[in-house]
Amino acid sequence: MTDPGLTVTGLTVKRGGLTICDDVSLDVPTGEVTVLLGANGAGKSTLLDGVAGVLPGSSGEVRLASTRIDRWPRHRRARAGLGYVEQGRTVFSRLTVAQNILVADPGGNSLREALEMFPQLREKVATRAGLLSGGEQQMLLIARAMVRRPRILMIDELSLGLAPRIVSDLMTVVADLARAGTGVLLVEQFASLALKIGTTAHLIERGRITRTESCSQLLQDPSILENAYLGNASATANSEKSADEAG
């Protein structure tokens, strides 16, 4: 039987007093990449913030390995095995690469493991994270999240602002993480890239999951994505923008 990993049931999340995500339910099994797709302003980042505890959920449940965690503070969810790579490359810019890693796992073998995952960082261990390229910062964030050995890793807009070659390399790493047993919930603007490494995809429109399909099916029928992205993009963007551009 597939390990459920992360289970979200009827989750409603508000931002700026407005309901952005409404009654959202989805599963993120371990050992798979689950893809969350939708137009800008559809509520993707708000949903991840609600699951991680950055924003409180006003109703619904979040369970990790069958344990309810939605009433826990963010740091306790992280310790329980919920990793989160947020949009915006939130490295500790004044700390070195090595220090960024050790903050997440002081005294462990985390630095060695991080450099094995991303050899490109090997020559940058003493470099301040704020001086890294965008791709290197994204590598650092994934490595920092993984040294805690999360059961589930949520990644928001992996490819934002990155060159195609870097994106391809990062996608390969994400696929490898899933094959090694981590469950990944991936929000990604380049749908075709995400679908190629994913198993199941959820389409979110105006803060609600409107369709769940296998990634292979969506790759074969791009019209489904075109309707989701183009047919409702304007309305969803305007709605969420009024709530501090939740995204």
Distance CA 34, CA 201 (A): 6
Q: Is 125 contained in some domain?
A: no
> Could you tell me the CATH number of the domain that includes residue 169?
3.40.50.300
What is the distance between the alpha carbons of residues 181 and 149, in angstroms, rounded to a whole number? Answer: 10
Q: Is residue 17 part of a domain?
A: yes
Alpha helices in 32-73 (DSSP H): 44-52
Q: Cα(134)–Cα(221) distance, rounded to whole angstroms?
A: 32
Q: Is 19 inside any structural domain?
A: yes
pLDDT tens track, the chain, 247 positions: 456 799 999 999 999 999 999 999 999 999 999 999 998 889 999 999 999 999 999 999 999 999 999 999 999 999 999 999 998 778 899 999 999 998 887 666 778 888 888 999 999 999 999 999 999 999 999 999 998 899 999 999 988 888 888 899 999 999 999 999 999 999 988 888 999 999 999 999 999 999 999 999 999 988 877 776 655 544 444 444 444 444 5
Residue 193 lies inside a defined structural domain of this protein: yes
The amino acid present at 113, given as its one-letter code, is E
pTM, to two decimals: 0.88
Structure tokens at 108: 């462990």
Domain that holds residue 52: 6-90+150-241
116 within domain boundaries: no
33 within some domain: yes
Say if CB 174 and CB 184 are below 8 A apart.
yes
| Residue 184 within a domain | yes
Number of domains comprising the chain: 1
Phi and psi (nearest 5°) for 96?
A: -75, 170
